[in-house]
């Protein structure tokens, strides 16, 4: 996730230069992303995993995989990680942040 926000910050500098507007824009973007993660924590975060385990195991258990398959757990965790911005494929799919900044700067000139 830090790479993602470094890119956003770089784009903001490319667009607005070294001005207070950079930080205001970056803050607006970060605030929205943070609110999305907070909402997800309440709706789909680790709580959903705990709820499913609780529903399927009225008594105690020794191994989580006796309650849920590894695939189910992995699916839930991958979905949450992506929503939270921790997609392991994201850095490989990102364009060069300095090239993006130069492009943004050229478009606003």
Tell me the pLDDT tens digit for each residue of 73-86.
888 888 877 776 66
Assessment of whether the complete model's pTM goes beyond 0.75: no
Quote the DSSP letter at residue 64: G
Range of the domain at 53: 2-108
Interval 14-39 mean pLDDT: 84
| Overall average pLDDT of the 83-105 stretch | 57
Which of these, 16, 43, 40, lies nearest to 27 by C-alpha position? 16
Q: What is the mean pLDDT of residues 22-41?
A: 82
Total domain count for the chain?
A: 1
pLDDT at 92: 54
């Amino acid at each position: 996730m830090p790479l993602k926000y470094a890119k956003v910050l770089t784009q903001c500098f490319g667009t607005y230069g070294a001005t207070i507007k950079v930080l205001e824009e970056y803050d607006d973007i970060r605030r929205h992303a943070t609110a999305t993660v907070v909402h997800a924590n309440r709706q789909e975060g680790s709580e959903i995993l705990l709820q499913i385990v609780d529903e399927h195991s009225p008594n105690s258990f020794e191994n989580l995989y006796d309650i849920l398959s590894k695939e189910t757990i992995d699916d839930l965790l991958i979905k949450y990680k992506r929503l939270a911005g921790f997609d392991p494929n994201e850095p490989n799919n990102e364009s060069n942040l300095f090239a993006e900044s130069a492009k943004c700067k050229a478009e606003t000139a």
